[in-house]
Structure 1
Amino acid sequence: MNTKKDFLPSKRSLIEKFLVMDVLNEASNLEHSGKEIFHLELGEPINFIPKKLTERLNQFNFSKIPGYTPSNGMRELREKLETYYLKKNIKVNADDIFITVGSSGAFLLTFLTCFDPGNRVAIFSPTYPAYKNILSSVNIEVIEIHSKNKLFIDLDEIKNFKKIDGLIISSPNNPNGQIFDEKELKFIYEFCLKNNIRLISDEIYHGISFDKQTFSMREFGREVVVINSFSKFFCMPGWRLGWVIVPKKLVENFLRLSQNLFISCGSIAQKLAIDSLDCVEEYKKITEIYKKNKDLVLDMLGKTSWNRFTRADGSFYTYIDISKYTTDSKKLVKKVLNECGVALTPGIDFDAKNGNSTLRLSFSSNHDYLTNGMKKLTKWINQNY
């Protein structure tokens, strides 16, 4: 007698959840039931579209929507990005640029191109959780590098991890807003070069910096994969468009994977991205709003007992130490959401070792909305701690 086989999910699919999306789902359910919720959990930029882009949208003949594009992206967009970097005195070649389905597509293509199953790739914690989760899904071992101070990353810790195949670094960092200076980044580049470590630099928050300058890893040499996106500085998260600059020797393999996994990116999004690169000065004004938001958040939090947090050199997050009050950041986030109506992100999303005593707060919303949300949050903190 034949027994029916149960088709179970693959082991590679048993990765950790992206917890901020769980928070969003729970917050949305509460909103649906009629409760007012302030979303300070998501890293979603202000809803802003420059006039040039709205005009381009209005000009589209949607009966003649462009079809497939080359798998590495429209030539015009890649050449526009080449010019974008040249204005920063960084020389890149359009042939080494790939347009991707968001930065997520760039990470997947990069990991598959650069590493084999069983390779060891290091990440500095706290950091963006999708690095670890995507790497795990393709059977790459993740090495988490922790610093003595749970809120900040100490790049010198890499000296203890020479036997790795790859390293991912992000500056400005998510979740703590930390920006590494020129000397620190040059040290990382040269360390990886000396020890034959494939370096991947996540630069999606470039352009969103306040009192400290950002540097691209391409300023130190070409032996690095640089990933960026139109989602953050360019305020286009829903268009799902990113880009990656790869060393020349990886281009052919990158192209093969891109052709088979994604075929091409959305053509309308690419057309709009071409115009967005002409609107940099307008986007800089949005960064000024984030600076105003940051000052508000740090001032209001500083007057509560939750007064140990990062100053946010860049990105639009502050990372908060709540170790005096909990050892379960998920539980505290749920409590704040239900009692206060403010959604935050548990630190365990970013750091498996120390994240149960930290939270991330996003100040990427418009200023009035953020002000009202912070009033509710700080009132609740003062009443409970």
Structure 2
Amino acid sequence: MTDRKRPRLKQGAGGALPSFLVMDVIRQANARQRSLPAGAPGVLRLEVGQPGTGAPALAVEAARSALGRKLALGYTEAFGLRSLRERIARHYREFYRADVAPDRIAVTTGASGGFLLAFLSAFDPGDRIALASPYYPPYNNILHALGMRPVVLEATEASRFQPTVPMLEALRDTPEGLPDGLIVASPGNPAGTTLSRRELDFLAGYCEREGIRLISDEIYHGLNWEAPPDTAATPTGTAIVINSFSKYWSMTGWRVGWMVLPPDLAGAAERLKQNLFISAPHISQVAAEAAMDATDEIEANAARYRRSRGLLLRALPEAGLADLSPAQGGFYVYARLPDAAEDSLGFCERLLNHHSIAATPGIDFDPRRGHRFVRFSYCGAEADIAEAAERLKIFDPRSAG
């Protein structure tokens, strides 16, 4: 027999994406917790934006009731249960005074499913989508996986790490010119900063005039500490809005979110959703609809996050981390490391291994500049944030020992 080499099997380029580093930190924190002796103080989880409050009681009861009644849980319409979409439309009227038709609302498999549908319905491979750094890593990674090209705008404290029209205008004179799209997040992750109504309107107006599709990430709405949130959803607008039940409604594991689509993209997004996802989980949609009426419980949760935010904003400067993002909303404080400190990877490893506090290195959100930043989340149990504040008092950020 002739000894022939077998042909090399092709591997997709998507497998070369970088890790979503916070997931690695979660694994390391879990390993640290397992290694601790019985009775030792546990690991405090400040690395991930997962509310420690759990789904609202009304949501849990609605799911339990549906199972008890043996509701025929199956496929829903691709865009979701009509009753849930109508309830979301009511939320826009009551919360934002915005009129959004239910037919423009698509219930998605978490916000992640919404971003995939948004990018596929609005853009083609090779298109350029701008985003300000630091940014939520899956924006960048999903775009790469789809063959689209992120255009990173290096934002600074001067713009509260938010994109601006001058940043976009600076691209006009580059060889490739203005981008095809722009992602904004308010409140943002990791910096927790927000856009004012004036700033959002200015960006949205500029994008519409210049043919740039705006995608507005609004998943932290309701968790605004300085001013009420403003939405990019308007009756005739061209922006795509992404939201989720994961953060304000504390339903991360239920994997249910929504999109508000501009009229020109609703049909394309529905066809894509039919083929890619069929529908969001039926039981999660039932629970989500009930959660929207759990106002008292949800607002009590938000008050807990606000108190934890205050604890962390006081504790970090006392621990030598005084250069902090404004933390105007969401769950996060983005801290610049002192000049004498090691890079963010080493800093977070030391914080975990010596003090059992898990935090996320800034390189997850800004590969070029993030080695000087760390993100701390304050949405865990309130007692854990208080304990983290105590442990930080004996932590020296300048020491590499």
TM norm. shorter chain > 0.5: yes
When normalised by structure 2's length, the TM-score is 0.91
> Which residue does the alignment assign to 1:3?
5
1:86 aligns with one of 93, 96, 100: 93
Say which is worse superposed, 9-18 or 50-59, in terms of deviation. 50-59
Count of residues paired in the alignment: 385
Query: Are residue 232 (structure 1) and residue 238 (structure 2) matched?
Result: no
Give the whole-Å Cα distance in 1 for the aligned partners of 2:146 and 2:259.
19
Give the whole-Å Cα distance in 2 for the aligned partners of 1:166 and 1:233.
27
Assess if the C-alpha contact under 8 Å between 2:188 and 2:330 holds in 1. yes
> Which residue does the alignment assign to 1:159?
169
> Which residue does the alignment assign to 1:143?
151
Give the whole-Å Cα distance in 2 for the aligned partners of 1:326 and 1:145.
26
AA matched with 1:47: T
After superposition, the Cα gap between the structure-2 partners of 1:314 and 1:148, relative to the gap in structure 1 and judged at 3 Å, is closer
AA matched with 1:152: F
What whole-Å deviation, never above 9, does each CA across 1:353-383 have from its counterpart, x for those lacking one? 2111000000001211111122223312279
Equivalent residue of 1:124, what SS? strand
Give the whole-Å Cα distance in 2 for the aligned partners of 1:52 and 1:79.
18
> Which residue does the alignment assign to 1:123?
131
After superposition, the Cα gap between the structure-2 partners of 1:9 and 1:327, relative to the gap in structure 1 and judged at 3 Å, is farther
Equivalent residue of 2:157, what SS? coil
Once the 2 structures are TM-superposed, how far is the Cα of residue 46 of structure 1 from its aligned partner? 2.5
> Which residue does the alignment assign to 1:97?
105
Assess if the C-alpha contact under 8 Å between 2:233 and 2:241 holds in 1. yes
When normalised by structure 1's length, the TM-score is 0.95
2:331 aligns with one of 295, 312, 316: 316
Give the whole-Å Cα distance in 2 for the aligned partners of 1:348 and 1:382.
17
> Which residue does the alignment assign to 2:238?
223
Give the whole-Å Cα distance in 1 for the aligned partners of 2:59 and 2:296.
14
1:189 aligns with one of 204, 217, 224: 204
Give the whole-Å Cα distance in 2 for the aligned partners of 1:303 and 1:220.
47
Once the 2 structures are TM-superposed, how far is the Cα of residue 281 of structure 1 from its aligned partner? 3.4
- Structure 2 spans left out of the alignment, 5+ residues: 173-177
After superposition, the Cα gap between the structure-2 partners of 1:360 and 1:215, relative to the gap in structure 1 and judged at 3 Å, is same
Query: Are residue 350 (structure 1) and residue 355 (structure 2) matched?
Result: no
Query: Are residue 307 (structure 1) and residue 322 (structure 2) matched?
Result: yes
AA matched with 1:157: M
After superposition, the Cα gap between the structure-2 partners of 1:364 and 1:80, relative to the gap in structure 1 and judged at 3 Å, is same
- Structure 1 spans left out of the alignment, 5+ residues: none
> Which residue does the alignment assign to 1:15?
17
> Which residue does the alignment assign to 1:44?
50
Query: Are residue 262 (structure 1) and residue 272 (structure 2) matched?
Result: no
Assess if the C-alpha contact under 8 Å between 2:340 and 2:398 holds in 1. no
Say which is worse superposed, 20-29 or 157-166, in terms of deviation. 157-166
Assess if the C-alpha contact under 8 Å between 2:59 and 2:289 holds in 1. no
AA matched with 2:326: R
CA-based RMSD of the aligned residues comes to: 1.8
Give the whole-Å Cα distance in 2 for the aligned partners of 1:212 and 1:278.
22
AA matched with 1:61: L
After superposition, the Cα gap between the structure-2 partners of 1:246 and 1:383, relative to the gap in structure 1 and judged at 3 Å, is closer
Assess if the C-alpha contact under 8 Å between 2:342 and 2:398 holds in 1. no
Give the whole-Å Cα distance in 2 for the aligned partners of 1:382 and 1:259.
50
AA matched with 1:153: Q
After superposition, the Cα gap between the structure-2 partners of 1:250 and 1:311, relative to the gap in structure 1 and judged at 3 Å, is same
After superposition, the Cα gap between the structure-2 partners of 1:338 and 1:177, relative to the gap in structure 1 and judged at 3 Å, is same
